[in-house]
Each structure stands twice: as C-alpha cells, then as structure tokens.
Chains A and B, each alone.
Chain A
Amino acid sequence: MPELDVSTTVNGRPVEMRLPTRLTLADFVRDRLGLTGTKVSCGMQVCGACTVLVDGDPVSACSYLACDVDGREVLTVEGLADGGELTPVQRAFVDCSALQCGFCTPGFVMAATALLRDEPHPTEEQIAHHLDGNLCRCTGYLPIVEAVLKASRAGGIDE
C-alpha cells in the first residue's frame, strides 16, 4: 500500500505519522488517534456525522483523505471542550435537548461551531441553510435550530 509522511496538528497537538494514501481522515482520527467522537454514517458526504474542521472549514472526514491534512490544522469534537468546559454550542445542545441517540451530534456541533465563527448572529434560515448537510434521524431538527440560536445569543464560539 502506498504511504506518505503526514505532518499535521490535531486539536492543537502536533502529529507526525506515515499513513496509507487511501486512509480517510475519519479513519485517521478514529483508528490511529483514538478520537472516536467523529462518527461515520452515510460514507458519501451526505449526512455530516463525520464533520470536522480543517483550517477552520467544515469537511466530511469520511470523504477526505488523511494525507490531505498535511500542513493543516484539524479540529474534532474532542478539541472543543478541551479542559472540560463546554463551549456555548455544546452547552446549548445540552440545554435544548437537541440530541437523542447522539450519533449525529458531534457533526452538528462542529458545523454549528463553524457557522457561528463566520456568522455570530445567524437567522433561522441561515442556520437551516448552513446545516442542510447534516442529517438527524431522531430529533426532527427544531431543537437543533433552537440550540444554535441559543448558542449565538450566548456568545457563539468560545475557545
């Protein structure tokens, strides 16, 4: 299997590894780094469960090659509450009961974090537009919209 040396930063920590070129970013963070908060569901960039941020932009880690994060910064859900304090987005998802099974939740939290970084006070329509690439099968979405609105009132992202 062809491999490449990859030098990246994951959740603020430098990582240098030799990785198979076909390894996805999702398998890299989950299997090689043990960061299993990132979930894989549809496997084809539709559901958003595997959303992580690469240089601040949301990407579907199931369809993104690990080697392509060489020289870039990766943020996964584990990197948000580093130290234990929930971010406003995480806090709002808890407070609004914006989750049930929770399998989609890390992806929603990451996508919402990216949204609020770009647009600290989004309208409901902007929230829906931005999160249209994230599927949730449990909640019916309304509590998720409410949570993002609440997080935006609470000050959006917090690092």
Chain B
Amino acid sequence: MSELRVVGTSVPRTDAVAKVTGAAVYTVDVTMPDMLHARVLRSDRAHARIDDIDTSAALALPGVVAVVVGSDLSSLFPRFGHIVPDHAILAIDKVRYYGEPVALIVATDLMVAADALSLVDVRYTELPAVLDTDAALADDSALVHETGYSGVSATPVVVSEYSHRNVAHEVERGWGDPDGAFAEAHLVVETRTHHPMLYAYAMEPYNAVARFTDGALEVVSTAQHPFMVARDLARVFSLPLSQVRVTAPYVGGGYGSKSYTKVEPLTAVGAWATGRAVKLVLDVEESIYTTRADSADVVVRTGFAADGTILVRDFELVLDTGAYADNSPLVLDKAVNRCFGPYRIPNLRVRGKAVYTNTSPASSYRGFGAFQGNLAGETNIDQGAERLGIDAAELRRRNLLLRGERLMPGLRGMDADLVADLDLLVDELDAGPAPAGRLRGVGFGCAATDAGAVPSSTALVKMQSDGSIVVLTGSTELGQGSRTVLAQIAAEELGLDMAAVRVLQSDTATTPFERTTGASRTTTLTGLAVQRACADVLARLRTAAAEVWECPVDDVAVRDHSIVAGGRSMSYGETVRAWFGPGGGEVVGQGVVRRAGVLAELPPFWEIGMVGVALDIDPETGQIDVHQLVTVADVGRAINPVLVEGQDLGAATQGLGGALTEQLVYDGSQIVNANMVEYRIPRITDRPRTFTSIVAERGDGIGPHGAKGVGEGARNPLPGAVAAAVARALGVWPDSLPLNPEHVWRLARKGISQRSGT
C-alpha cells in the first residue's frame, strides 16, 4: 500500500469551528414555520389505573391548541419499541412508572403549555407497585404488563415466554460441565456486586420537532439511530417507510442514551393531532425519567486450578429494566456475553434476567451490559488472585485469550493481542508513594466486547464535476468525530484535500441506510462502506473514460489519482465533465457493508478495554483523587489519533463518574436525585492528575487500513479497576458502587476494625 496521506493524521475536526462559534445547529435549535410547543403531563405515581382525565380546563386556557391523551390514539398503533412494542406513547388505561407521559399539551407558546399542565385533572386508582426486582419476581407480585405484545423485533433478540410474567427477557448460555469443574477446582471464589442505575447525561436533553407535510411525516430529532426511529414511526401512523423522514443534525451527546425511539412518537402525535408543526423539548428531570441504564445484581463464582488457571465460571445476573423493555433485552444479551471477560474458560454457565419493575425505563448507555457485568467479573478475578497469592496481572496473563482463540463458540476469534496490551498497561501504572496522609491504590481491568453491532451500512459518494465529493451516510455525528474520520477515509481513497470532502449525515430520506450509530461501529463499518463507495466511484469513472476515449475499459486505469489509458490522462473532475458534457453531472458511487465476506463472522471486531488507575485515598474523609489514568486503545489503526485519545479519555471519565459518584437513587416511587445537582458527574476539578493514552496499532482490524472501533472500551473495565484500587488501599473489597466519600470512609473504618482483629 502506498504511503498514507490523511489517514493516521490528527487533522482538525471539521465541525470544530461551527461548534466554537455557536453556529452548529442542534435539534433544539430547529424551528419550523407555524410551529407549536408541547409539554408533557407525567404520572405522579408508580402504578395506577387511569379512571378519568379531564382536559377541559386546560383546553379552555387561551393559547392551548390540543391536549392529547392515550385514548385519543385508538386509530393509531399507540405504542413503540424495536424489540418489544410495549411502550405506550401516552399511558393507556394505566401508568407503569412515576414520570410516565399521560397527556401532551400543545400550545402556541411554551409558557402557556407549561401553565396548562396543572389544569389537567387525572383521576387514578392506585395499584400495588413492584419497585425493585425482588418485589417483581415474587410469586404473587403485581404485573407490570398483563399482556404480551406482538410485533417483529428489529434486533436479533428473540423474546418469548419466561419463568415469571415480570421478566422482559431471560437468557441462559454456557458450555462444558460447570458442576463437574467446580467439584475439581483447587479454589472457588464467589463475588456479589450491585451496579446502580445510571444516567448518561447527554447535555442536549431529548427533543424533537415534527410535522406532516404532503401526507409525509418529517421529524428532526436527537436520534442516534434515525432509521430505527423511522421504522417505529411508520408503524405508529401506518405510513410506508418512504413517507417518514427522520433527520438528526448535530447531537449534543448520546453515549447510547439516544439510541432507539424516545420522544419522536410523542412529538409526532402532537403534529398529527393539531395538523401543525410541533416542538417538544424535555428538561433534564424528564430526560432522566425517559431513559436510564439498567442496574444489575450479579453473583459470580469462579473455580481456579492451583496455578491460577480458570477452570469454570458461573454468573447470575438480574437487571432492573424498569417499566418498558426499550433495549434492555439486548442489554441483557450483551451482559451475558460480556460478563465473563476475555479469558479461556473451559466450562461456563451464565444465567440472566431482565426484569420489569414500576420504575423508569432502562436502555443503552455506553458499553451497555458490559460495565454492569465487568465489575463483578473483574472483582472476582482480583479476589481470586489475592487468595491464590498470584499477582493480579500475572493471573490474567495466564488466562487471557490468545489471538484467534474464541471467546464464545461461533463468534469471531480474538483479533487482538491481549497479553501485550495488558503489559503496556501495567508497565505504566504508578504504585506510589502516595502524598502524606493518603493511601495509594492501583487497580486495572480488562474487557472485550462484541462490538460493531449488526453490519448494515450503505454510503454514497458523489463525485462533482470539479473533482470534489459529497459523502452521504446515515451514521450520526454525536461528537465522536465521525464527520471528520469518514472525510479522512474518503480523502485518502480519492487523493483529495480535506477541504474538497463534505460529509452529510443522518437523513432517512436522502442519506443511505445505516443500522445504528453505536457499538463503536462507525469507523469500521461505515468507514468500509465509504471506502467501497470511493472504489465504486473510481470504477464508474474508468467506465466513463473508456466511453469518452472509445477504448476497452480494461485499458483504463487509476494512477496517482488520475484516470489514465495509454498516454492519455484525465483528472476525476475532467472525467465527469467529459462524460456528461457541458450540461454537467456527477458520478455517484455506492458502498455496501452487510453480513457477508469478511463480515460474515460476528462480531465485526472485538472492542478491547484495558484501563488502569492509581488513586490517592484519604482514609479520614473518604475523598479520592485520581492520581493517574492509563488507557490502552487497541484500535488496529488510528485514523485520527487525537480523536482516538479523546474517545478513551471521555469514556474513561464517564467510567470514573460511574465508579466514584454517579447513581440514580429511588426512594419509594420516585428518583430522589433526578437533577444535575444531586446526580454528580465528574467536574473539571475531578480530572485525573496524569493521563497516559496508549494506542496499540497492529493493523489487525477489518475496517479501513486495519482499523477497529473505539469509544466504549475504556468505559467498561473502569469501575472494576477503581474498586480494585480502593480494595488494595483499604484492605476491604467494595461490593457496590459508587465509591463516593461516605462509602469509602465506611470501607476504611471496616478495614481498620478488621485489621485490629475484631
């Protein structure tokens, strides 16, 4: 391969100037002519029958145009959900969680809509509520959903009848003879962990603008996956997919929380009810009640041989999925695949349940399923190392999968050098000494996740008559930098300057299909589609040149970014102009990625998480300072190294938040900290004192130039690494998160009393 010109270079983000000047347009900045504003009246109880809704007083308020309730939607398909279509757009007959939308108020002015909220009179009859998974799984528990829901799942997850009617999804997976292996193990270590509910806090809250025009529905929204949203909307309104257009401009953070359908049906229902454009913007409290991450209770037992070889692992996972399934069945599937780690495990049993409760709906959040299970799995490995008297890194080295070994039968073999990555990591970690009065704890962890999701991407590249190109893709720019990276890939293929490449994204009517923007897939899969579209452009330019020159196409070649045959040569732009003539034209290339060829085997790639921390802990206050953060990005090839580093630092920082301060707390039916004062995310003063980003480039990915994805990896093992660091400093293993000062202080007290022999 010739030398790379643009790929591998940290070119500036193409969206940076728009974002520092305030010119970048997000959904929340979009208006439509004659637009109305909506607000949502939400349930103030966890589980209740709706007896009556009196909207007359609200409708009488000047400026209120419509008040829509669930019973108004009987002519529509009144629910959504890409796996289980269980999610009522507006509560029908009963509410299933505090915060559930009950009425949509549409008014000429946002303040009027807000004033009308208190004028809607809803009469409820309280029902017994199941507020946690234990209550939900009890024999005589109240049912969150009395009936099943028919519909075609838009994912590979198959849901069916389960052991309890409050179970949303149940999985059992494994191999070998776990019971026999436990009987022969030298040491069996059991670990129980609780991972709390989390909020992704994408800073742009969920919002959308919708209108019907010429019989078609147009929605602008914060959707990560506009094509999947379009599918839900088409079903709601019985429209052909071609009559539903979903666009996503710049998105103010996603991290998985804007995956799948959220406020789009509500907004569209407002437009349907009024015949006018409607805008709905949630506030942060409403956003928290819209989607959170599943909490997880995990029990893991591992049987080790005396030399530390893993003989068997057994996991039981219970996720609190909340009132509606959203993506939680897939979160569970992934948790089951991701909990046991990238180790050679001859005997395995994993059992998992995603459980409906009368709490807010749970779904994706960066690395979903992985971080919940990884905390248990990696804590358990560390405890095993401690009890076996084997160094924790050495224990992992003995068990990590080698290149080509399979983490699970039927899945792609390991496409990374895990032991080499681990060595890079532990060599960097700084074990001390700590500053006076502090205890230094070092922890690290590993993860490998089946990334890339379902391979289905199509890209179009339009070669203009001046030789510049427009790249069209349905992949969404969430801040990860795909607009820049995809431009780099195209610029490299066609020998163009970055300035000659324009990437336009995420419009279901004009950009080609993209399955999702998630699972760290964009650089690898969308990147391949762009690369293939560029190759298609070149093939078409060769054909065009052969017609212009009246020679066989086989005589026409591409050399040094020109079309050549014999002694003749044309630039790409000249070829377009010569073929179309003075009327002008463009040559359009298409690149398709689907589950075939190099992508027949799933996952498309393994995303590796290798992180370590050195923490300075004040045992008197429980305060933790992050002295050092080390990440290893095993990305095959960094298309843009600065963006790779940015993904790792960002993901790791979210992991630090989850490990140290973040949790949504239910007290009865309500979340008591549904705001950004009491839901404490990392601030600039919490930043790690030193950060080392190691980028391992071995060219071993299936993406462009050997690339593999990045974005979730560093999130997944971070909480386990923090837990291990705290345990090594204090002598007590935490079994839950977050490790906030109170929790750490209690662990420190416990450690002191244990060591004093009480």
Contact = CB atoms under 8 A, between A and B. Distances in A.
A and B are interacting partners: yes
Given A102-B15, A103-B202, 20 more contacts: A1-B111, A20-B111, A41-B676, A44-B284, A47-B203, A93-B16, A94-B17, A94-B20, A99-B19, A101-B204, A102-B20, A103-B204, A106-B20, A134-B684, A136-B203, A136-B684, A137-B253, A139-B653, A140-B691, A142-B688
B642 interface: yes
A129 B203 contact: no
Contacts of B479: 99-102, 138
30 contacts: A27-B110, A36-B28, A39-B203, A41-B203, A41-B284, A43-B283, A78-B21, A86-B21, A90-B17, A94-B17, A97-B642, A97-B646, A99-B479, A100-B480, A101-B203, A101-B479, A102-B18, A102-B20, A103-B204, A106-B20, A128-B687, A132-B683, A132-B685, A135-B683, A137-B200, A137-B201, A137-B202, A137-B255, A139-B646, A140-B653
A38 interface: yes
A97 B649 contact: no
Interface of B: 10, 12-13, 15-26, 28-29, 110-111, 200-205, 250-255, 283-284, 478-481, 642-643, 646, 649-650, 652-654, 675-677, 681-685, 687-688, 691
Given A20-B111, A97-B646, A135-B203, A39 B681 contact: no
A131 B682 CA distance: 12
A67 interface: no
B481 A100 contact: yes
Given A43-B283, A132-B684, A137-B201, A97 B13 contact: yes
Contact of B677 (A44, A134, A145): A44
B685 A105 contact: no
A101 B250 contact: yes
Contacts of B252: 39, 41, 101-103
B646 A47 contact: no
B650 A104 contact: no
Nearest to B287: A41
B650 A140 contact: yes
B12 A94 contact: yes
Contact of A145 (B251, B652, B687): B687
Contact of B284 (A42, A86, A144): A42
Interface of A: 1, 20, 22, 27, 30, 35-44, 46-47, 49, 76-78, 80-81, 86, 90, 93-95, 97, 99-106, 109, 127-129, 131-132, 134-145
Contact of B646 (A38, A100, A104): A100
Nearest to A47: B676
A105 B19 CA distance: 7
A1 B21 CA distance: 34
B685 A129 contact: yes
Nearest to B481: A100
Contacts of A86: 17, 20-21
Contacts of A37: 21-23
A140 B652 contact: yes
Contact of A141 (B200, B283, B684): B684
Contacts of A132: 683-685
A137 B479 CA distance: 11
A35 B111 contact: no
A134 B252 CA distance: 15
A140 B646 CA distance: 8
A75 to B, nearest CB: 12
A159 to B, nearest CB: 15
A42 B26 CA distance: 16
Contact of A109 (B20, B205, B649, B681): B20
B253 A105 contact: no
A99 B20 contact: yes
A40 B676 CA distance: 13
A44 B171 CA distance: 42
A154 to B, nearest CB: 14
Contacts of B684: 127-128, 131-132, 134, 136, 141, 144-145
Contacts of B15: 102
* Among B16, B22, B26, B201, residue most surrounded by chain A Cβ atoms (within 10 Å): B22
A140 B687 contact: yes
Nearest to B18: A102
B653 A141 contact: yes
A3 to B, nearest CB: 12
Contacts of A93: 16, 20
B21 A97 contact: no
A106 to B, nearest CB: 5
B681 A137 contact: yes
Nearest to A92: B20
Most buried by B among A49, A95, A142: A142
A145 B681 CA distance: 18
Given A93-B20, A135-B676, A140-B652, A39 B204 contact: yes
Contacts of A49: 203
A35 B21 CA distance: 11
A118 B484 CA distance: 35
B630 to A, nearest CB: 13
Nearest to A80: B21
A101 B251 contact: yes
A138 B253 CA distance: 7
- Give 6 closest A-B pairs by Cβ, nearest first: A37-B22, A101-B479, A103-B252, A102-B19, A100-B479, A140-B653
A86 B681 CA distance: 31
A93 B12 CA distance: 10
A78 B33 CA distance: 24
A36 B201 contact: no
Contacts of A40: 28
Contact of B650 (A39, A81, A106, A139): A139
A102 B650 CA distance: 13
Given A22-B111, A42-B675, A137-B681, A106 B22 contact: yes
